[in-house]
Amino acid sequence: MSSCVRRCSPQGGDGLYREHPINILKYAGKNIWLLVFPLLRGIRSIQLDVYAFYHWLQGAWFDLLVVLVILGIGYLRWHFIQFRAERNCFVYSSGILIRREVVIPYDNLSVITAEHPWWLRPLFAVRVQLDTRAGALKTMDISILVRRSDYRRIKQRLPIRLRSSKTRIYRPHWLSIVFFSFIFSSSLSGALYLSTFFFQFGKMVDTMLQESLTRRLTEMAGEMAEEITAHMAQISRIASKIPPIAVGAAIVLLSAWLLSFLVNMLRYIGFRYEQDEHQLRIRSGLLTRRRYIIQSDRINYIDLRQNLFMKVCRMTSVQLNCSGYGNARRELPVMVPMIPRQKIQEAVSSFYPQAFPKKNQFRAPNNGMMTYLYAPGIAAAVIPIVSRLLQNLLPQFSDFISFGMLMLEIPMLWMLVVKTVAWRTTGITVQGNLLCVRYCRGFRFHTLLADRGALAKIQIRVSPFQRWYRKCDLHLYFYGSIPHGHPLLGFRIQDVEQLYAQLGLILPDELPECGIHRQTENTAPEA
């Protein structure tokens, strides 16, 4: 670190900078708990007593002093945060009593993010985030709010290359943005499913109460008219509340999805990316304008995402995984929101020039289908049996039970379709230095394209049932990957042995339940 500090000496810098003054309020807000003392003192004046209020007013200087202390602490924290952009590194200093200095060489930067939220534009403020390959960190390495004028000067020092003759520019059609927002908004199918459930359930409850009222009136035909009238009024009040509540719940669900759709639309309006041999620059957003500058050599893998509807339409969303990016949010930056499948190779050709395979080299065998289908298959088979038993036990609620079980059966059948497609498509291919991994998690299909050197470890899991049939599950972990890995289920042991041989790994004689790491951390021999 000492050599780095010497290399990043103040000589050649463009002066010290501080954050935007609005951050004084942010730091002051962390000490807002001190207002409890004026609050406790002010409780005495709650009694509508003139003298008590007069005494409280006499001590108002104390409340003012507390407010000034809060603002003063916020100002000190803001004042002692300084940063500067040197020729080859960025230096960030903070702390009042204990000073902390972070030095980030530009060579280690993975992603530079600039955000212009709509609520900060009147203040001419820009949020700048610097991220490195230190993937163990749970937050951005440096996140600062600066004046727009300071950002323009700092940007001249950052490794941001201007457009060259080799720069590729891509702007998706606005219809693809709409389609992407429509598909990837918070579970459209789930919102429609639940809203249908609430709406139909409300209608059924209303019908049941009306039938109960009719039966009760018939039974009470010989009783006094007053009792009949009172009972009818009670049931009518209950019945009148159920449908509006159910309809309201359905409207809330659909409104939530519509809000998610609008948020996605506003996030990706104006999307475009520029790519050259060194960097990928992405910009998007209407209300909050985002700018990503990603170093091409920091990209670990490309994730091609689809759901079942997109598979049918032969459309794909291209997303990136970059070392150090988004560790706090666990999100991938979108490279292309929506693109036809026949144009994928063109979009990723700068990262992986060779054509990625269309078929899997290793995949789950035909007799491994139950690995994918047993859970939704058992649930889909059990639901009708349980429905019939409950209808026999509770015939008065037969309609409710039938409707409820039908609403449970629909997602299980949908899951069966998804898992059947997953069984036919899950697999892995080793093609030179390229790994192509296809798998399904939940209702979403993934195709990962990565260099062999990006593979960090392979985890093997063997259940007692799989051990009997010589099968296992693989979980692949890449650098910068998600914590639970990328699952490949129901593989034959002999296929895993061949896969390990191509990757230059050794498969132990006795398979453990987990934890087979790469023999070498960074390289593997060619196939």
Q: HSE-up of 194 (CA within 13 Å, CB side)?
A: 15
pLDDT at res. 61: 74
Residue 244 pLDDT level (bands cut at 50, 70, 90):
low
Count CB neighbours of 455 within 10 A. Answer: 23
Answer yes or no: is pLDDT of 482 > 60. yes
Q: What is the pLDDT of residue 210?
A: 59
Residue 392 has pLDDT above 60, yes or no: yes
> Lowest-confidence range among 96-100, 256-260, 282-286?
256-260
Phi/psi of residue 13, nearest 5 degrees: -80, 175
The first and second tokens of residue 466, run together, are 């799989």
Q: What is the pLDDT of residue 162?
A: 63
**Whole-number Å distance between alpha carbons of 443 and 422:** 9
112 — phi, psi (to 5°)?
Answer: -115, 120
In this predicted structure, what is the pLDDT of residue 517?
Answer: 38
Q: pLDDT higher for 57 or 86? A: 86
pLDDT of 436 reads 93
Among 285, 240, 257, 238, residue whose Cα is nearest residue 118 = 285
185: confidence class by pLDDT, cuts 50, 70, 90: low
Q: List the beta bridge partners of residue 475.
A: 459, 487
Question: Considering the chain, what is the average pLDDT of its residues?
Answer: 76
In this prediction, residue 349 has a pLDDT band, given cuts at 50, 70 and 90, of confident
Burial class (CB in 10 A: 0-12, 13-18, 19+), 377: middle
Q: What would the pLDDT profile of 136-152 be if each residue is shown by its tens digit?
A: 444 567 889 999 999 98
pLDDT of residue 525: 36
Close Cβ partners of 187 (under 8 Å, ≥ 6 residues apart)? 257
Predicted pLDDT of residue 426: 93
pLDDT at 199 over 70: no
Residue 440 has which token pair?
Answer: 């399904």
Tell me how far the alpha carbon of residue 101 is from its chain's centroid: 31
- At residue 20, the pLDDT reads 93
Per-residue DSSP letter, 114: E
Q: What is the mean pLDDT of residues 366-375?
A: 82
428 pLDDT exceeds 90?
Answer: yes
Given this model, what pLDDT does residue 69 score?
A: 87
Specify the range with the lowest mean pLDDT, choosing from 210-219, 254-263, 300-309: 210-219
Q: Determine the average pLDDT of the residues in 290-304.
A: 86
Question: What average pLDDT does the segment 237-258 reach?
Answer: 57
Question: For residue range 20-67, what is the model confidence (pLDDT) as tens digits?
Answer: 999 998 888 888 877 777 776 666 555 555 565 566 666 677 778 888
